Amino acid sequence: MEVKVIEAAPEQRKPKPPSESQLGFGKIFTDHFFTMTWNSGEGWHDPVVEPYHPLQIDPTAMCLHYGQEIFEGMKAYRGKDGHGVYLFRPTENIKRMNVSAERLCMPQIEEKLFMEALEKLLSVDQDWIPRSEGSSLYIRPTMIATERALGVHPSNEYLFFIIMSPVGAYYAEGFSPTRIYVTEEYIRSAPGGIGYCKAAGNYAASLYANEIAKKIGYTQVLWLDAMERKYVEEVGTSNIFFLINDELITPPLSGTILPGITRNSIIQLAKKWGMHVSERKLSMDEITASIANGAMQEAFAAGTAAVVSPVGWIFYRDHEYALAEGKIGKLTRRLYDEILNIQYGIQEDSFGWRVKILN
């Protein structure tokens, strides 16, 4: 199966954003997108890169009623001195999307076809990849159920599409430690659920607690486990790490946590640096005790959008705790620099994480 390319006519093309410093996140989209459809008779067919346009789906399309919708988030980077276009561990995103697809009874996508779609889409829209330091092109592969029917069952038709958005340096004004709010009342995921999938429903379920946090001045929610409301799981839509007594701790992948690619990269880097890294349960009691006795050194969130994001303050049971005096920890800074330098080709990539997609 060949990916067809239909290039946008000059009048279908959008003006490029005037200033890369004002890109923000997820507001501007490129001139093209990739689409392909699936049905139970033909499997995936008609893969095409075409001019970006609104989708037409029936009001009964099953994704709108029963939530069969999954996605991924990855980035393309221009190499040093503007040479080449690179992705960071893209096959990990493809594998994870297929894991999400399996859990939601959606069809698998072959890695080779997925990579060809990315390559052809990036090729026609390469002028959209920003050039300024720290900027990149965010890529959002998405799959939705499109069968026209009510009644709960796995859809017989799907649409897969990939859209792309130029994004500025996440920390345009510099690193600023975030304020996080621990909720004991709400959870994002429970054992046996879909917490390990990048499925739309997980994000809908997280909004309510996040609004509560925002109302009292916190940027993100720190989620606890569903069973005991005791152990930390994730922060907002990122994985969480704590450095306590020189032990780098992150919760284990027990099915309720999204297996972040940034999380995995941090674990591998920290181990390479000879650090003591633990994937283990970490309770709020241990966290508050280690803040009280001075063992807590730093905490940060990890995900593709921001890479790492320092945690400055934690609100838990009517108390606000400051971490690293609300400053950026040394390890947080080192990981951020190291991962960005690998992504942009400034530093040697000893793990082979960088994949050249265009020359």
Nearer to ligand PLP, 291 or 302 (CB): 302
Q: Is 198 in the site for ligand PLP (CB under 6 A)?
A: yes
Least separation in angstroms between CB 188 and ligand PLP: 7
Query: Nearest approach, Cβ of 332 to ligand PLP (angstroms)?
Result: 15
- Of residues 168 and 260, the one with the C-beta less far from ligand PLP: 260
Q: Is 42 left (phi over 0), alpha (psi -120 to 50) or beta?
A: alpha
Q: How far is CA 5 from CA 118, 312, 345, in A?
A: 12, 47, 29
Stretch in the footprint of ligand PLP (CB under 6 A) among 27-35, 119-127, 133-141, 253-261: 253-261
Task: Point out which span in 61-69, 154-162, 254-262, 328-336 binds ligand PLP (CB under 6 A).
Answer: 254-262
Is 122 a residue that touches ligand PLP (CB under 6 A)? no
Spatial separation of the C-alpha atoms in residues 97 and 121, rounded to whole Å: 18
Task: Tell me the one-letter amino acid at 21.
Answer: S
Q: What is the CA radius of gyration of the chain?
A: 21
Which string of DSSP letters, residue by residue, matches 186-247?
--S--TTSSTTS-BHHHHHHHHHHHHHHHHTT-SEEEEE-TTTS-BEEEETTEEEEEEETTE
CA pair distance 321, 336, nearest whole angstrom: 24
- In the complex with ligand PLP, the residue whose CB is nearer, 57 or 355, is 355
Cα separation values, 26 from 59, 139, 163, 167, 351, Å: 26, 10, 10, 7, 29
Number of CB atoms found within 10 A of residue 351's CB: 12
Query: Does 90 sit near ligand PLP (CB under 6 A)?
Result: no
Considering only 135, 238, 250, 343, the residue that binds ligand PLP (CB under 6 A) is 238
Q: Residue from 90, 303, 312, 329 that binds ligand PLP (CB under 6 A)?
A: 303
Show the binding pattern over residues 260-299: x = contacts ligand PLP (CB under 6 A), - = does not: xxxx------------------------------------
> Is there binding between residue 183 and ligand PLP (CB under 6 A)?
no
Q: Which residues lie near ligand PLP (CB under 6 A)?
A: 73, 198, 234, 237-239, 258, 260-263, 303-304
